[in-house]
Structure 1
Amino acid sequence: MNEPDFHRDPPLILIVDDEKTLRLVLRRAMEQEGYRVSEVGDGHQCLAFCTEQLPDIILLDAMMPVMDGFTCCAQLQERFGQKCPPVLMITGLNNQESVDRAFEAGATDYITKPIHWAVLRQRVRRLLHTHWVMAELHRKIEQERVLKAKLEEMNQELQRLVDLDGLTQIANRRAFDQALQQEWKRLAREQAPLSLILCDIDFFKAYNDTYGHQAGDECLKQVADILRKAAKRPADVVARYGGEEFVVILPNTSLRGAMQVAESIRSKLKSRAIVHEGSGVSKFVTLSCGVAGVIPPPKTTPDRLIAEADQALYKAKVEGRDRVVGNLVEV
């Protein structure tokens, strides 16, 4: 940590005293040290000055009319908190009660009258240095806090990108695997249903051959959008399973409920009427869906659920495509 350069950037000292003569003497003494100096005559003026501009240190007389130094110091602490500059209380009272009262009000240090000028200069210099060190420390802490927040934000964005399919902007296979494992364990504990929908775009190779890969990519995006809108709950996960295959994880959903979601997806795709002259079942792009549901048994894996959904999808294709077939997993 570098040392402060008070000569290049002189600190501002605020003198608060109702005695004009003492203010003048204090001003001269501080200016001889190279400091910038402002002065006010009472506590109210001190608070008003600090509201406009915070000095680097306040030399505050304890005994003043209207508002004494103890009250002024307490209000400074209340108003400015950690930003309050150090307060050096100047008091003619040299007893333990006055000293305790000064520190209770928030004074950083005190000095008694008659003022010992060498002591005053040393204490001002020490308080300014300490104040600068603390300000630098708070600044560095704030910088580290901001940097940490930015790094956390970047890490979250990186994690999001790692888990995202670049084309469709839905979850990728890696994210699907993680989400399924997580939901399987949770619902095994709760003994609640978990369902899976596997979707495959019918005759997608023919679509690519007919309209080109760019149109194929656009078709995949539209299907992903329909799936995303159909899986409305926060825990639902829509992912690209591979190629033209998609998958939907539906926690706390029975096989019957998942079948309804799958039919809704198929219906909404039909309503978009994406022309597909190369399809063997329709003039438009269609989906075949395999659905499986189970209450996960403890200490098992979701492999059986995936296999049953895959088998149901295969059955949907064999039976003529553009349909939903469901399998209830027997355990």
Structure 2
Amino acid sequence: MPEEPPTILVVDDDQFIRELLRRVMEKEGYKVVEATNGEQGLDVYQRLKPHLVMLDALMPVMDGFTCCKHLQKLSDEDETSPDSEHLEAQGLQGVSQTPVLMITNLDDPESVDRAFAVGATDYITKPIHLAVLRQRVRRLIQQFQLYQKLEQANRELQRLATLDGLTGVANRRRFDQYLDDEWWRMIREESPLSLILCDIDFFKKYNDTYGHQAGDACLRRVADALRFCAKRSVDLVARYGGEEFAIVLPNTTTIGASLVAEELRSLVHGLKITHAASAISEYVTLSLGVASLYPEPDTPPAKLVAEADMALYQAKASGRNRYVAKV
């Protein structure tokens, strides 16, 4: 599919200027939308998220300086900037926001300073020199698009850095970070936080019997089953280490977490992954430990992990292929 052309929002109360800018910019291959005042321009910006805003300084209802200040706030709300050092290395500081090109009759130093102070990216005066305008527009849009590509690539790198390469669920680093974040969020909300630790029963024997490639395939299938049961967007499934997985369940009591644990146990057993070396079943099974706490500021998240780990130990000691909830 061909890429959509960049969108330019022209905000100017002068119809002649709007039509002139539309003709010139459409000839350059851009898509142009118009607004006749600042308030209308803000509405259009929120709906369309253009690649560039051309903004007149002097307009009725809301002038360009006030409009530009509001545009920067809206752009800040949308922005998820990558690491600032990464941007600095690329020479792209300050281009994360939608660029604003101020076009006006005002050319005194005070007006120019005011335009940049409210967030304008560049400034051009009337009468408009069209060749200069084309070059500035091209530069601003290319710079903005380059930033967006870098931002997208950085987000993908950050995502990959938090995933377990084999199973595709969160890795231990992400688990530790997420548990700590949710611990403090539950403190603020005075809500319970639950954790399930689960272990594939007799997994070493599985590897010894079927080989490590089969073992890797088994881990992936179990991870997929866990991900299926962690239905809410706030639930996190992570590979805790080896054949052990963890599920973080915010705003969940022991009863709720126990229901999830039993669903996990049943689903994995229902996969009917043959395990001839298991001492308890002909199929792969899970042992699970469940713990739930109301986090407190003077208690570390490690306490929840320790309680879930103790419950997991009890599940193994009492026969495996079951869950035990720490009460």
The two structures share one fold, judged by TM-score above 0.5: yes
The reply to whether residue 227 of structure 1 matches residue 167 of structure 2 is no
Contact 2:104/2:126 (<8 A) preserved: no
Once residues 272 and 142 of structure 1 are traced to their aligned partners in structure 2, the CA distance between those partners, rounded to angstroms, is 52
Q: Structure 1, residues 291-329: CA drift from partner, whole Å, max 9, x if none?
A: 00011012431010000000000111111111100113x
Give the deviation of 1:81 after TM superposition. 4.0
Runs of 4+ aligned structure 1 residues displaced above 2 Å come to 73-85, 126-131
Give the deviation of 1:133 after TM superposition. 2.0
The reply to whether residue 196 of structure 1 matches residue 195 of structure 2 is yes
Corresponding residue number in structure 1 for 2:325: 326
Once residues 23 and 225 of structure 2 are traced to their aligned partners in structure 1, the CA distance between those partners, rounded to angstroms, is 54
Provide TM-score, normalisation by structure 2: 0.63
Equivalent residue letter for 1:241: Y
Once residues 252 and 127 of structure 1 are traced to their aligned partners in structure 2, the CA distance between those partners, rounded to angstroms, is 58
Gaps of 5+ in 1: 1-72, 86-102, 109-125
Once residues 178 and 313 of structure 2 are traced to their aligned partners in structure 1, the CA distance between those partners, rounded to angstroms, is 24
Give the deviation of 1:80 after TM superposition. 5.2
Aligned length: 221
The higher radius of gyration belongs to 1
Equivalent residue letter for 2:158: Q
Once residues 311 and 137 of structure 2 are traced to their aligned partners in structure 1, the CA distance between those partners, rounded to angstroms, is 62
Corresponding residue number in structure 1 for 2:17: 77
Q: Structure 1, residues 30-65: CA drift from partner, whole Å, max 9, x if none?
A: xxxxxxxxxxxxxxxxxxxxxxxxxxxxxxxxxxxx
Contact 1:238/1:247 (<8 A) preserved: yes
Equivalent residue letter for 1:306: V
Provide TM-score, normalisation by structure 1: 0.63
Distance 1:281 1:312, change over 3 A: same
Once residues 176 and 147 of structure 1 are traced to their aligned partners in structure 2, the CA distance between those partners, rounded to angstroms, is 32
Distance 1:172 1:160, change over 3 A: same
SS in 1 for 2:313: helix
Contact 1:189/1:298 (<8 A) preserved: no
Equivalent residue letter for 2:282: K
Task: Tell me which moved more, 75-84 or 316-325.
Answer: 75-84
Q: Output aligned runs, 1:13-28, within 5 Å.
A: none
Give the deviation of 1:107 after TM superposition. 11
Q: Structure 1, residues 257-291: CA drift from partner, whole Å, max 9, x if none?
A: 00100000000111111000010110000000000
Corresponding residue number in structure 1 for 2:251: 252
Corresponding residue number in structure 2 for 1:273: 272
Contact 1:77/1:84 (<8 A) preserved: no
SS in 2 for 1:248: strand
Corresponding residue number in structure 2 for 1:116: none
Corresponding residue number in structure 2 for 1:310: 309
SS in 2 for 1:267: helix
The reply to whether residue 161 of structure 1 matches residue 101 of structure 2 is no
Q: Output aligned runs, 1:42-191, within 5 Å.
A: 75-79=15-19, 81=21, 84=24, 130-191=129-190
Gaps of 5+ in 2: 1-12, 26-57, 60-102, 106-124
SS in 1 for 2:319: coil
